Amino acid sequence: MEKLIDFQTDPSLYRHWRVEYDGDIANLFMDVDENAGLFDGYQLKLNSYDLGVDIELADVVQRMRFEHPEVKVVVLRSAKDKVFCAGANIRMLGGAAHSHKVNFCKFTNETRNAFEAAEVDSGQKYIAAVKGACAGGGYELALACNYIMLTDDSSSSVALPEVPLLAVLPGTGGLTRVTDKRKVRRDLADIFCSTEEGVKGKRAVKWKLVDEAVPNAKFDETVRARAAEFAAGSPKSPVATGITLGPLKKSINEDGSLQYSLLEIAVERDARRATLTISGPTDAAPLSMSDFEAQGDQAYLLRLARELDDAILHLRLNEPQLGLLVFRTQGDPELVLSHEAVLLSNADHWLANEVLKYWKRVLKRIDVTSRSLVALLEHGSCFAGVLAELLFSVDRSYMMEDEFEGDNRHLATLTLSDANFGIFPMGNNLTRLQTRFFGTPESVDAARAHVGEGLEAETADDLGLVTMILDDIDWEDEIRIFMEERASFSPDAMTGMEANLRFAGPETMETRIFGRLTAWQNWIFNRSNAVGSEGALQRYGTGLRGKYNMERV
């Protein structure tokens, strides 16, 4: 799978999804084109999906929020007869490299989280209207919706057959959502997850696997009624029109480096490193949200979020050898704050809310990116407000102290804003500063007392906001040594270490999905019982069951 994967798409390019808008209700049809897989070697039968299908779905969910803010209820259904969705395509999984499987699951998890949170964040409630077989990743799609309706007939069921059939886990949140979201009793969950054929109708309701089972003859009508009811009861204020998300300006060079409009990515393959340099805004901030709306997708903070989001996904899937992502900024910190201020002071405006919630998702995507992350706070940088939040996402940050010879850029500063104290929670539901200062909330308060100040190195260090401050004499050597050393470590150990150190404190369903569930799945994705030549994933479809080493670990 050496093909460059592009995460940008738009409705005119969709092969697998279709949306019909009907006032405040959107009908989203899954209609996978079996001949339009992202890679060769498999057909996407029975509404099974691969990364390409999910890239379109993520695009649908994103556009729903920005382009169709009038929508209050999204009804997800299948356009195929007899099948809702058969889950991730098994032949694709069987043929995919370990790293592709893991990153595929991560992206699909992020997309599920994005539409699961749409009700709370954006007032868009997702209903899964399930007719026909709904298995594995198909049921996990439904699980991530806010309400599940199931046709009560002999051919419709929900199932998580991964364990008995494929010797892997339902890896897109299934196990976690069954116990923690749906609150299915653990022994019933045990039966459910080890029963290939799944559970139908009234039993599915009784076990809490679905919210409602409706006779076939009344299904469509009941779904319509439920959608109308939820739309009518929605607290979301009416919004007339959205903004358009146009194509990103982006070019990729032969050496792997990328240019976006506000983000430049230098790739050094020998050093296994990508350096992401963010440019601060150059124009004055919009004066109001109507100004912001007029700028639309060209408004600085929205444009930057989209570029950064795309860049992270590109690096994850297309550049697995780059183990270190270095974040830099250059620009005017005050100007960053003024661009942010119009959003913060209008947070109840639909578009301000969407942009801020989008930044929340982008920052979370960075948190769970399994590359070593470092930020360099150089002279001339603009780590302020939401951009300062990057400093608390990374594994380490280095800051320039005092003047550097021959460097006439403004002294490096770090500027906090109110944005660093609540609106961008991590997956663990703490802010990044609360996580950083886990157990010492007084350190968070101390930092907060400096909101709006351009903190120079010594103060930033005293407040514990940066990892290390270095002067002209030490800067280059220290950073070079760190980067060389980091590039020499085992990538697997780094992934495991970072996944443990980044999320101190409480866990949530989200961190459990990315931590506990994902880690076990990754383990199983390395075991011959699943992926070996006689393993269940490889043998699927051959009529032979997997041949297992029966030792328990």
Q: Under rule CB under 8 A, which residues in 314-343 are in contact with a copy of itself?
A: 320-323
- Strands of the 133-135 sheet, one edge to the other: 83-85, 133-135, 157-159, 199-200
Give CA–CA dist 364/426, Å, rounded. 6
**The one among 4, 240, 449, 501 contacting a copy of itself by CB under 8 A:** 501
* Nearer Cβ to a copy of itself (14/207): 207
Residue ranges in 526-545 that form contacts with a copy of itself under rule CB under 8 A: 526-527, 529-530, 536, 545
Q: Binding to a copy of itself by residue 187, rule CB under 8 A?
A: yes
- Smallest distance from a copy of itself to CB 393, Å: 10
End-to-end CA distance of the chain: 32
Please state the three-class secondary structure of 405-457 as a single string: CCCCCCCCCEECCHHHHCCCCCCCCCCHHHHHCCCCHHHHHHHHCCCCCEECH
Classified as helix, coil or strand, 354 is helix
Q: Is 493 in the site for a copy of itself (CB under 8 A)?
A: yes
By CB under 8 A, is residue 250 in contact with a copy of itself? no
Total site size for a copy of itself, rule CB under 8 A: 90
Q: Where are the beta strands (DSSP E) in 23-122?
A: 25-30, 48-49, 73-78, 83-85, 87-88
Q: What does the DSSP assignment read for 479-537?
A: HHHHHHHHHHS-HHHHHHHHHHHS--S---HHHHIIIIIHHHHHHHTTSHHHHSTTSHH
The least CB distance from residue 474 to a copy of itself, in Å, is: 15
Query: If you search the block for the tokens 């570029």, which residue do you land on?
Result: 307
**Of residues 45 and 516, the one with the C-beta less far from a copy of itself:** 516
Contact present, 399 and 470 (Cβ < 8 Å): yes
Sketch the per residue contact string, 64 through 103, with a copy of itself: x for CB under 8 A, - otherwise.
----------------------------------xx--xx
DSSP state of 24: T
Q: Per-residue x/- marks for a copy of itself, 144-183, CB under 8 A? A: ------------------xxx-xxxx-----xx-xxx--x
Which region among 11-19, 113-121, 407-415, 493-501 touches a copy of itself (by CB under 8 A)? 493-501
* 505 forms part of the interface with a copy of itself (CB under 8 A): yes
Q: According to the binding rule CB under 8 A, does residue 500 interact with a copy of itself? A: yes
When asked if residue 276 is in the footprint of a copy of itself (CB under 8 A), the reply is: no
Question: Which residues from 352-371 bind a copy of itself, rule CB under 8 A?
Answer: 370-371
Least distance between a copy of itself and beta carbon 62 (Å)? 25
Q: Closer CB to a copy of itself, residue 82 or residue 269?
A: 269
Burial grade of 145 (CB within 10 A; 0-12, 13-18, 19 or more):
buried
User: Given its phi and psi angles, is residue 332 left (phi above 0), alpha (psi -120 to 50 degrees) or beta?
Assistant: beta
453: number of Cβ within 10 Å: 12
Residue 4 engages a copy of itself in binding (rule: CB under 8 A): no
Among 48, 353, 397, 431, binds a copy of itself (CB under 8 A): 397
